[in-house]
Amino acid sequence: PAFKIAVIPGDGIGKEVIPEGLRVLDAAAQRFGIQLEYRHIEWASCDYYAQTGKMMPDDWKDQLSGMDAIFFGAVGWPDTVPDHISLWGSLIKFRREFDQYINLRPVRLFEGVPCPLAGRKPGEIDFIVVRENTEGEYSSVGGISYEGTEREVVVQQSVHSRIGTDRVMKFAFELARQRERKEVTVATKSNGISISMPWWDGRAAEMAKQYPDVAWDKQHIDILCARFVLQPQRFDVVVGSNLFGDILSDLGPACTGTIGLAPSASMNPERKFPSLFEPVHGSAPDIYGKNIANPIAMIWSAALMLDFLGNSEGAGRAAHDAIVKAIETVLAQGPRTPDLGGAASTTDLGKAIAALVASD
Amino acid sequence: PAFKIAVIPGDGIGKEVIPEGLRVLDAAAQRFGIQLEYRHIEWASCDYYAQTGKMMPDDWKDQLSGMDAIFFGAVGWPDTVPDHISLWGSLIKFRREFDQYINLRPVRLFEGVPCPLAGRKPGEIDFIVVRENTEGEYSSVGGISYEGTEREVVVQQSVHSRIGTDRVMKFAFELARQRERKEVTVATKSNGISISMPWWDGRAAEMAKQYPDVAWDKQHIDILCARFVLQPQRFDVVVGSNLFGDILSDLGPACTGTIGLAPSASMNPERKFPSLFEPVHGSAPDIYGKNIANPIAMIWSAALMLDFLGNSEGAGRAAHDAIVKAIETVLAQGPRTPDLGGAASTTDLGKAIAALVASD
Ligand SMILES: CC(C)[C@H](C(=O)O)[C@@H](O)C(=O)O
Ligand SMILES: CC(C)[C@H](C(=O)O)[C@@H](O)C(=O)O
């Protein structure tokens, strides 16, 4: 039976990298015997907003609910639509309403990608950030008191549920168990945020008991950020709350020079709802229309999608590995888009990677 | 009239670096005609806790209230006293009860200090993090519901007051105005933390109106952390909430290789209460007792203290500048403690810097 994929280009370079993502998906699907059925969607874009005054049709949830995954380009066009409307009207809605409670972002140092850290070798940095993606610090609970006066005070609550916390811890420990090093680092700030974070540490300790084969420790977010810069080779699986995961999953790619190459998977592991796969980069209005955007983040996201669809086993895992290997080869040998010092187009890169995936 | 300084060595290497801090303070005071009167205090240490069962005497506040500043070594000895007791029983109490609402941490790349970022030159990175130090995410408001059940949920509130926010913004803009580049970067996360952070942005915009000569922008904490690694030369004054400031003021020193050299000033600018000056590093049980700890963070903290006492003017500013210049010289030319590859002792460094300050 075919997997159903909703394809949403969104805005800007989202529209340029999606075709290359699909090109590589097709090559991988063909080679590994995976059936994919696409549904192309124009909404969840600022163009759609310009025409209709909303980011998505009212029945967006019905339209997407039968899908296995959403293959998403990028959303946002700040010149015409403020980010809080475009993002909260699409991406954040998907995460919340489709209970995509795991956000996964691999961090790797590749040959051919200039690294901002001194003296680091490809292969030396290879970890993954697991972010809680639906609750915690991103609650909508709170408000302003004594508004407009001297006494004005704003309150925003962080709300962590046991169910929401345990499931992300469980995911991180399961993931670590599958990896070679089998190590989990839990981001915390229990020495400063004195109610929620000690509780969070307690949930981690409780979950860890079930994984005696996995080594774990907790590190305060301030020191953890410092260590991403100073000792990035030390990490395997890093798990954090919504806010801490957000910070770490931008800082990690920054440390490997791959912020423009990083993929992101927002997943509902139970598959009750579609999961979403997208590049971390945005719609990049400044380079849109020139066919020079680097499509690797989109293509890497395709690999994560196939891995997820195949339960990290069999054809899905093989397709993932083949795509990542092709990305490695192209980064090391070219062609290169202008962001990495080359003159190749978005299309050139998509074709080169698809050819490697098809033939290898 | 003499400035009254409470000297609190605390634990571990705090006891080794304090004498070197005092040595340099004395040299600077003598040269620039500043009167300092010390009061040596044994409490706020884990030794005191071992003897009395508490970190400080009941009348600690009375004992310290008449002081102009607290010159603090380091606190903590996790083998015998858990951090939440030692830290919250001393340092965090000082910050809160003495309304030390500004935490200041300079970030600089020095000659002679290996930088973890590739290709950066001394002088290229030179900014300062201004952290709100008393409220925000470090509130003690919240609790646990349905404890011990499936439905368990923990809530912790971030509470930002207008008074508390405006005063840190004002400090940051005033500071920027005194500096050459006159730029403020406001750390935010208004695209995710949707109540408190848009409000925080609004307070920044309001304050900025009064400083048309200062350029400012706001950056989301995730991207801001990435930019500390990728473009650290872009920053001048960076202001953040308690949590964001905590993260940035560890990450900044990490990016310049100076996490062991970084000083910290927790200040009550109105001088209603004593301000506190301390190294960022902790008590370092692993190297205590060998006289090899690097005293530069303590000595740099002494410089910040003199600058504060002198209102960043006259003799105080001159003494600050002379100490920082002596630190620069010693970092570039030695002597060096083992952490920087040398064989000098804590005392050697203190003497070398004091001599430079005295003679220069
Ligand atoms: C020890 C801890 C509570 C403290 C903080 O988060 O404020 C520390 O990280 C610091 O920055 O001084
Ligand atoms: C746009 C913003 C709300 C979002 C987040 O903070 O989750 C982004 O930074 C991300 O990481 O996908």
The CA distance from A261 to the nearest CA of chain B, in Å, is 14
In the DSSP assignment, the letter for residue A81 is B
Measured between CB atoms, which of A138, A195, A247 is closest to B221? Answer: A247
Residue carrying structure tokens 């406001």? B186
Q: Kindly give the number of the ligand 2 atom that is closest to the alpha carbon of A242.
A: 7
Tell me the residue ranges of DSSP E strands in A18-95: 36-40, 69-74
- The pLDDT tens digits of the residues spanning A216-257 come to 999 999 999 999 999 999 999 999 999 999 999 999 999 999
Instruction: Report whether pLDDT(A4) > 70.
Output: yes
- The pLDDT tens digits of the residues spanning B297-314 come to 999 999 999 999 999 899
How far, in Å, from the CA of A192 to the mean position of ligand 1? Answer: 6
Can you give the pLDDT at residue B317? 96
The CA distance from B34 to the nearest CA of chain A, in Å, is 36
In total, the C-beta contacts within 8 angstroms joining chain A to chain B are 188
How far, in Å, from the CA of B224 to the mean position of ligand 2? Answer: 13
CB contact under 8 A, B243 and A192: yes
Task: Give contacts of A151 with chain B, Cβ < 8 Å.
Answer: 161-163
A78 touches chain B (CB under 8 A): no
Q: Whose CA is nearest to atom 9 of ligand 1?
A: B246
Structural tokens at position B268: 């009550």
Q: Does ligand 2 have an atom closer than 6 angstroms to the CB of B222?
A: yes
A222 touches chain B (CB under 8 A): yes
pLDDT average, residue stretch B194-200: 95
Can you give the pLDDT at residue A318? 97
The CA distance from B118 to the nearest CA of chain A, in Å, is 4
More confident residue, A192 or A348: A348
- The pLDDT tens digits of the residues spanning A96-109 come to 999 999 999 999 99
B148 touches chain A (CB under 8 A): no
Distance between the two ends of chain B, CA-based, in angstroms?
Answer: 26
How far, in Å, from the CA of A92 to the mean position of ligand 1? Answer: 31
Can you give the pLDDT at residue B102? 98
Q: Whose CA is nearest to atom 8 of ligand 2?
A: A246
- The pLDDT tens digits of the residues spanning A275-302 come to 999 999 999 999 999 999 999 999 999 9
SS3 A241: coil
Question: What rounded mean pLDDT belongs to chain B?
Answer: 96
A7/B360 Cα distance (integer angstroms):
69
Can you give the pLDDT at residue B360? 66
CB contact under 8 A, B151 and A160: no
The phi-psi region of residue B186 (left if phi > 0; otherwise alpha if psi is between -120 and 50; otherwise beta) is beta
- The pLDDT tens digits of the residues spanning A151-189 come to 999 999 999 999 999 999 999 999 999 999 999 999 999
Can you give the pLDDT at residue A315? 96
How far, in Å, from the CA of B138 to the mean position of ligand 1? Answer: 10
Can you give the pLDDT at residue B83? 84
Q: Best mutation site among B246, B267, B277, B280 for ligand 1, i.e. most ligand atoms within 8 A of its Cβ? A: B246
Q: What is the DSSP string of B297-309?
A: HHHHHHHHHHHHH
pLDDT average, residue stretch B133-149: 94
In the DSSP assignment, the letter for residue A340 is G
Q: What are the two backbone dihedrals, phi and then psi, of residue B185, each rounded to the nearest 5 degrees? A: -110, 125
CA trace torsion B242, B245, B250, B251 (10° rounding): 140
Domains and their CATH numbers in chain A: 1-101+268-360 (3.40.718.10), 105-126+135-257 (3.40.718.10)
Can you give the pLDDT at residue B39? 97
How far, in Å, from the CA of B243 to the mean position of ligand 1? Answer: 9
* Residues near B358 by beta carbon (within 8 Å), at least 6 away in sequence: B27, B30, B31
- The pLDDT tens digits of the residues spanning B100-128 come to 999 999 999 999 999 999 999 999 999 99
How far, in Å, from the CA of B54 to the mean position of ligand 1? Answer: 20
Q: Whose CA is nearest to atom 9 of ligand 2?
A: A246
pLDDT average, residue stretch B160-187: 98
Which A residues 160-219 touch B at CB under 8 Å? 160-163, 189-197, 199-200
Q: Identify whether the C-beta of residue A80 lies closer than 8 Å to the C-beta of residue A106.
A: no
Structural tokens at position B278: 């301390």
Q: What is the DSSP string of B113-129?
A: S--SBTT--TTS-EEEE
Task: Give contacts of B117 with chain A, Cβ < 8 Å.
Answer: 116-118, 229
- The pLDDT tens digits of the residues spanning B245-259 come to 999 999 999 999 999
Residue A360 binned pLDDT confidence (cut-offs 50, 70, 90): low
Residue B84 binned pLDDT confidence (cut-offs 50, 70, 90): confident
CB contact under 8 A, B222 and A116: no
Q: Which of A251, A278, A249, A242 is nearest to A263 (CA)?
A: A278
B125 touches chain A (CB under 8 A): no
A140 touches chain B (CB under 8 A): yes
